[in-house]
Amino acid sequence: MFGTVRDQLALKRFAAIPLAITATFLILLFSIVQHMPGGEVLVTRLGVVKAALPLDVSLLRTPLSLYVPALDLPVWGALAQVLVVFGIAEIVLGRKMTLVVAYACTLAGTLYARFGVEVGPDHLFGFPAWVAHVRDTGPSAAVVALSVCVAWKCRAWVTGGAVIAVMVGEVAVLPNLAGLEHVVAIVTAVLIAASLEVFGSYWPRVLGDVGAARLLAAEARQHAVL
């Protein structure tokens, strides 16, 4: 992991991580705007997700909710996490896959919050009704998920295991919405990483075979005409 990241940064510098820089800037922007007069209302309408909201509204806001920092955590922590982890993921996984993992795992956490409120506090993984009105934003679920996917890709099993152990330990010691969403993000990330491991080369191989078949068919038609 270190060698891959070092080589790309040495070659391209910040041009190697435009996605990470953009995401960091968006978090900083939302942090500034939400503390301005009238800014909190604007940020809420654009990117604040709660389980009490209609599902369609939550789905529309989820992409931007990733960049809205949590109010109870220092914004510098979110900025550092996103710049470092998104940057590493962008180099190791690629820009498109980084976005896929980040949004898929954030969405999984958002949907899980609704499920937990629906089943109620009597269920092992349920929440009391007041959790439906808790602001559910921030990049932490995406950061955790990307850390796991990068560790899998680089075969950094100790690093990946440490991330998982810390997140599970957090839930065991202090169960809360954010902690359980982190575990859901980890499960989603593992499923994505395992799917890519098994099926990652399948579709490119199929498309390559289709392209080769088309080329042979075109050559055959050309010879027939001649």
**Which pLDDT does position 182 carry in this prediction?**
92
Reported confidence tier of residue 177, pLDDT bands at 50, 70, 90: confident
- Assess contact for 62 and 49: CB atoms under 8 A: yes
- Say how many C-beta atoms besides its own lie within 10 A of residue 15's C-beta: 10
Q: Give DSSP secondary structure letters for the chain.
A: -HHHHHHHHHHHGGGG-HHHHHHHHHHHHHHHHTTSTTHHHHHHHHH---TTS-HHHHHHHHHHHTTS--TTS-HHHHHHHIIIIIHHHHHHT-HHHHHHHHHHHHHHHHHHHHHHHHH-TTSTT---GGGGGS----SHHHHHHHHHHHHHHTT-HHHHHHHHHHHHHHHHHS--HHHHHHHHHHHHHHHHHHHHHHHTTHHHHHHHHHHHHHHHHHHHHHHHH-
Q: Which tokens go with 214?
A: 């088309």
**Which pLDDT does position 18 carry in this prediction?**
86
Query: Taking the domains of the chain in order of start, what are their residue ranges?
Result: 2-201
Give the pLDDT confidence of 107-162 residue by residue, as tens digits.
999 999 989 888 888 887 788 888 888 888 888 999 999 999 999 988 889 989 99
- CATH number for the domain formed by residue range(s) 2-201: 1.20.1540
d(CA 171, CA 181): 10
In the predicted model, what is the mean pLDDT of residues 185-214? Answer: 73
Residue of higher predicted confidence among 209 and 36 = 36
Percent above pLDDT 70 for the chain: 85
Q: Which tokens go with 63?
A: 């992409």
Handedness of CA 183, 73, 23, 7 (dihedral sign): negative
d(CA 58, CA 77): 25
Q: Which residues contact 211 (CB under 8 A, 6 or more apart)?
A: none
In the predicted model, what is the mean pLDDT of residues 176-196? Answer: 90
**Which pLDDT does position 175 carry in this prediction?**
80
In the predicted model, what is the mean pLDDT of residues 188-204? Answer: 77
pTM: 0.82
